[in-house]
Amino acid sequence: MTLTEDRSATEARPEARTAMIVSQLRTSGVNEHWVLNAMAAVAREDFVPAAMRDAAYIDRAIPLGNGRFLAAPLFHGKLLAEAAPSENDKVLLVGESNGYLAALLRPLVGSLTVIDPTEAAGFAGEGGYSLLVIDGAIEELPASLAAQVAEGGRVVTGVLVRGVARLASGVKAAGAVSLLPLIEMGIPALPEFAAPKNWSF
């Protein structure tokens, strides 16, 4: 079977995507129609290795190789709902340029710039972003990345506090971003955003 034939066969079975929406998103409080419509329109199976396509809609992260993961659907649903992106937003996404979250965001926003997590610490873009989205859990937000967010701009990400991952959001005010943890959930950690380790004796 060719890749084209395999993809068509998967697309002919939308019940997995419907089940994701009904049993994972709606039952966990993700009921915004625009979020559900966005996630119904994007095939998660197109963003995982061929061997994992049958597991694309499970309620846990899927390994993509090289230490990367596709987060569980619930994280992306909650993240989108919290971010509330609009066509007026200039968005900076830290994630995969050809990844699932980028595919969800592109039709919803005015402009989208995507950078790899490995580029985030030293990223020197044009700035003025009204929304910063990070596809994973971080321990520390680099000052250089926070500087890209416009005053009053929003930040939505996962955060790791003492090993526990939570969805978090914040607003840039007086030049600083403060993140408020919202809900505990499984979110793949991004090692590029680990906090410096302190020596202990």
Domain boundaries, the chain: 3-193
3-class secondary structure, 62: strand
Task: Find out whether 81 and 156 touch, Cβ atoms under 8 Å.
Answer: no
What is the predicted pLDDT for the residue at 14?
79
What is the predicted pLDDT for the residue at 13?
56
Residue with tokens 């050809």: 98
What is the predicted pLDDT for the residue at 198?
63
Is the model more confident about 136 or about 4? 136
3-class secondary structure, 38: helix
pLDDT tens for each residue of 109-167 = 999 999 999 999 889 899 999 999 999 999 999 999 999 999 999 999 999 999 999 99
What is the predicted pLDDT for the residue at 4?
39
Share of the chain above pLDDT 70, in %: 92
CB hemisphere CA count around 43 (13 angstroms): 14
What is the predicted pLDDT for the residue at 10?
43
What is the predicted pLDDT for the residue at 57?
96
> What confidence category does residue 6 fall into, taking pLDDT thresholds of 50, 70 and 90?
very low
Q: Looking at residues 4-14, what average pLDDT do you find?
A: 47
The mean pLDDT of the chain is 91
Domain at 3-193, CATH from 1.10.1040.10, 3.40.50.150, 1.10.1610.10, 3.90.226.10: 3.40.50.150
Distance between CA 155 and CA 89 in Å, rounded? 12
Those residues with Cβ within 8 angstroms of residue 121's Cβ, 6 or more apart along the chain or in another chain: 142, 144, 145, 192
pTM, two decimal places = 0.90
- The radius of gyration of the chain from alpha carbons, rounded to an integer in Å, stands at 17
Distance between CA 154 and CA 28 in Å, rounded? 23
Q: Kindly state the DSSP code that residue 48 receives in the 8-state scheme.
A: S
What is the predicted pLDDT for the residue at 74?
98
